[in-house]
Structure 1
Amino acid sequence: MRLFGIILSFVILLGSGILITPQTAHACSCASPESPEQQVREELEHKSAIFAGTVEKVTPPWFKILKSSADPVKVTFKVSAVWKGELGRQVIVYTARDSASCGVDDFQVGTEYIVSASLKSKSLETNICALTKPLASAEAELAVLGEGYPPTAKPFDQIDLSPMSIIVAIATILFGSFIVIKIIRHRRKYRV
């Protein structure tokens, strides 16, 4: 029991360290393209994925003592058309929480967007400097992109490695180990 208490204390301290680490502040500045056609061509060349999709869910950053405008917001899209990348029918894209850190801070559930994203650390990320905007206001960009292709049946590989998911996984493993040890000790004690 004492070993479990020590391990649990260590996990809590480790988790606290992850939650309280200071983050660098970034100011957002975007270079304006000469035309929508030029921006589309640059994005097709440099971005990992360009697609149209409807926002199904917006998950804000989980509770932290110190907050930053750069904290990641998780946005889940139902993909309707793809212009670049091999994307599944559902895609998760991350963006900074606030436009001060170039985040797209106005994603609305049920609204369809054109999204341009880069692959960073096995996650797709977008920002306000990218082509990302409501599909209804992307007529000029859609004219340049033309007709897209449908999403694939296989979803895009993404791993959620948020600090909270790591802490939950570690706590689950430790708790499971504690239960197994207790059961083994109990059986040994009453073995005749």
Structure 2
Amino acid sequence: MKRIIAIILICTLVVSILIIGPKGTLACSCAMKNQPQEKWKKSIAVFQGKVIKKKTKSTSFFTSSSDDPVYVTFQVQKVWKGVNSRTVTIKTAISGASCGYDFRKNIEYVVYAKEENDKLVVNLCSRTEELSKASEDINYLGKPKKEGKDLVLIPEKTLQTSAFIIPGVLVIFLLLTAIIFIKRRRKQ
């Protein structure tokens, strides 16, 4: 009996450590903003858009981190590079401490995005800026390749996350362990 309880506790501890365990961290260091032409070359997408939606996704069921992702959806007005649809969703970190960009709803931005794991990603070092402060960028970028009416309406993909899968597996594991424990106890 004591051995079964010890095994259950050890298994629960191991699963908990795997779920909540620490994640690698990266420092955010971009002392100087690069010139628009440098960021243009390094970006997969450059566009002007208005923030219409922000959605935060926790990477862990039990804790939160400054690196938790925020998915920001833009209504695209002008495109200089890499975007074909009227709406675009990018990913950033929730906090500036993890290099996340603090987008505000209903504000227009000039966005420079990179690609990571098939997602457009923006951080503090990307040169993304509110439209009202981006005159140097607008001057450099010149006439857009596409504007609002030229863009296609593409349905947004549903974001999938393991935030519900991992806790679900943990609950199933604990339920099965409890059932086995109860059945063995009844046999004694």
Same fold at TM > 0.5: yes
> 2 CA distance for matches of 1:154 and 1:85?
15
Residue 31 of structure 1: how far off its partner (Å): 4.3
CA shift at 1:16, angstroms?
6.7
In 2, Cα distance between equivalents of 1:51 and 1:137: 15
Structure 1 residue aligned with 2:66, among 65, 69, 83?
69
Supply the AA of the counterpart residue of 1:90: T
CA distance in 1, matches of 2:41, 2:56: 30
Match for residue 163 of structure 1?
162
- Between the two proteins, the alignment pairs up a number of residues equal to 155
Aligned to 1:57: 53
Instruction: Measure the CA separation in 2 of the matches of 1:25 and 1:18.
Output: 17
Residue 88 of structure 1 corresponds to which residue in structure 2?
85
The answer on whether the counterparts of 1:80 and 1:89 sit within 8 Å (CA) in structure 2 is yes
Give the CA RMSD over aligned residues.
Answer: 3.1
CA contact (8 A) 2:19 2:166 kept: no
Which runs of 5 or more structure 1 residues have no equivalent in the other structure? 1-14, 172-192
The CA distance in 2 between the partners of 1:124 and 1:19, in whole Å, is 26
CA deviations 1:132-178 (Å, max 9, x no partner) are: 1111100111111112122631539866232237679x99xxxxxxx
2:111·2:127 contact (CA, 8 Å) conserved in 1?
yes
Distance 2:157 2:116 in 1: 10
2:28 is equivalent to residue 28 of structure 1: yes
- Name the SS for the 1:50 alignment partner: strand
Output the CA distance in 1 between the equivalents of 2:68 and 2:82.
25
Pick the aligned partner of 2:117 from 106, 116, 121: 121
Which amino acid in the other structure matches residue 24 of structure 1?
G
Identity within the alignment, %? 34
Using the TM superposition, give the Cα deviation of residue 48 of structure 1 relative to its aligned residue in structure 2, in angstroms: 0.7
Moved over 3 A (4+): 15-19, 154-159, 164-168
TM-score w.r.t. the length of structure 2 is 0.70
Give unpaired runs (5+ residues) of structure 2: 1-14, 170-188
SS in 1 for 2:26: coil
Residues 50, 75 of structure 2: 8 Å contact kept: yes
Aligned residue identity for 2:98: S
Please report the TM-score for the alignment, with normalisation by the length of structure 1: 0.68
Tell whether the 8 Å contact from 2:87 to 2:153 is kept in structure 1 after alignment: no
**Structure 2 CA distance for partners of 1:87 and 1:166, relative to 1, 3 Å:** farther
The secondary structure found in structure 2 opposite 1:108 is coil
The match for 1:146 is 142
